Chains A and B, each alone.
Chain A
Amino acid sequence: MESLSNKKKVLEAKPLTLAEKAYLPAIVRGMGITLKHFFKKDVTIRYPEQKREFSENFRGMHSLKRDEQGRERCTACGLCALSCPAEAITMTAAERQPGEENLYREEKYAAVYEINMLRCIFCGLCEEACPKEAIYLDGDIVPSEFIRKDFIYGKDKLVEAPLNQ
């Protein structure tokens, strides 16, 4: 019966010639291809030492921002935790004491602010919900860890470095 596409190739298994039997030319040709790749541009990069450029709307690790005077912007209003579909964010608020005006912008601040990076789906809703422009997902890819506990990021990892450093 004739095939529908007419693309069928009939292969004939011919006996190998002497040159083919020796395999050497085939090996040399294969090595040649390998050698050619030494002089070509790399397809891969050496992450994490080397990094590709991220897209402009890439969402990576969260960072808690500071304002122009280096005070923490977050007031622990809880809207990020409310909007979080994965329920990855928890926080505890505290009242700013007199003398701490240079540390926190508003009279309430987040004493504890934790994000569980295993739960986070990097949807960016927290960033959208924030009324104080305090949280942005502008960081890197979250690094890997060995134990689950280490994926709960506290304020030590999330808050931006102070201005004067």
Chain B
Amino acid sequence: MSVKVTIDGISIEVEPGTTILNAARKIGGDIVPPAMCYYSKLEGSGGKCRTCLVKVSKGSEKDPRPMPKLVASCRTTVMDGMEVQNITSPEVIEARKGVVEMLLINHPLDCPICDQAGECHLQDLGYEHGAAKTRYEFDRRTFERIDIGDKIQLHMNRCILCYRCVFTADQITEQRVHGVLNRGDHAEISTYIQKAVDNDFSGNVIDVCPVGALTDKTFRFKNRVWFTKPVEAHRDCDHEKCNGKVTLWYKGEDVIRVTARKDVYGEVEEFICNTCRFDKKKTSDWVIEGPRKVSHKSVISANHYETMKPLPVVKQNPLLQEANKEQFERETRL
């Protein structure tokens, strides 16, 4: 028993109970609504940021009336015969632009300083919607930066209150020491009385954070992500819950950062332990699998060349081919 849903004119059969967002992700491509708070690996996430708003132009086969308002696609489940508009609806684009503006009200525009720049979802979203200016005239809320343990840095200024890190703490640990305090405009992520988070998986809050609110202190200001070279690697981790599959971020010969592997939606494939993330920063600790594929739209791929493509003149000349043999056998440019 499956239900049929049409998103931007593309039909797909999905299990009943699937959300519109997940149905769209099954189709893939441009029609997938962006999500700042929803995280498929985290139970109960979603419904907070409203960036995934879509228009339901036909409720279902039985009740074909459209839904009166735009709905959050990460929280709305599909019905049989449902028709959804995402990028084909100007209303949705307009509403999303408004949401981006709302998210940027308190977000400092310190991308030149922020370590997340280049892989920040809010930056992408702001860029896509072209909302470069703010209409907000009041002071942004500011906080002092907080050290959560000695490896994680919390910049509360940049937080958009997506609750992903809170759900991570909930899911990964039994005793969570990290949550959201206060309400409304005063809400802030905090450890209670800045208590250190000492869990083997606490580093994953860095990966789930869509903005630069939680960053790796060992990578702080070391380099910009687009000057580093991501490489897939793995190791035999002693921790029973960690499978040791990571992305190493190289600068020259040095591993300057270790993160979990992220998929096209920026979600980690599997959580990694703190030993892998913070302590193993030597090439000898890892088994290299090969360079990570980076979308050519990403700034991280700037000045990185995936393969040595022979020029037409080299392709035709056997002498030149022979001379450049060694270079072409290499998978990446040095």
Contact = CB atoms under 8 A, between A and B. Distances in A.
Interface residues of A, number: 16
B112 A75 contact: yes
A82 B112 contact: no
A93 interface: yes
B221 A77 contact: no
Interface residues of B, number: 15
Contacts of A107: 113
B295 to A, nearest CB: 17
Contacts, number: 37
A111 to B, nearest CB: 9
From A78, A81, A132, name the one whose CB has the most chain B CB atoms within 10 angstroms.
A78
A77 B117 contact: yes
What is the interface of chain B mostly: helix, strand, loop, or mixed? loop
B302 interface: yes
A131 B113 contact: no
A77 to B, nearest CB: 3
A106 interface: yes
Interface string A58-100: 0000000000000000011111011000010000011100000
B113 A82 contact: no
Interface in A31-68: none
A82 B110 contact: no
The 10 closest A-B pairs by CB, nearest first: A77-B112, A78-B224, A93-B221, A108-B113, A75-B112, A108-B221, A131-B112, A75-B113, A95-B221, A106-B113
Interface of A: 75-79, 81-82, 87, 93-95, 106-108, 131-132
5 contacts: A76-B221, A82-B227, A82-B303, A94-B221, A108-B221
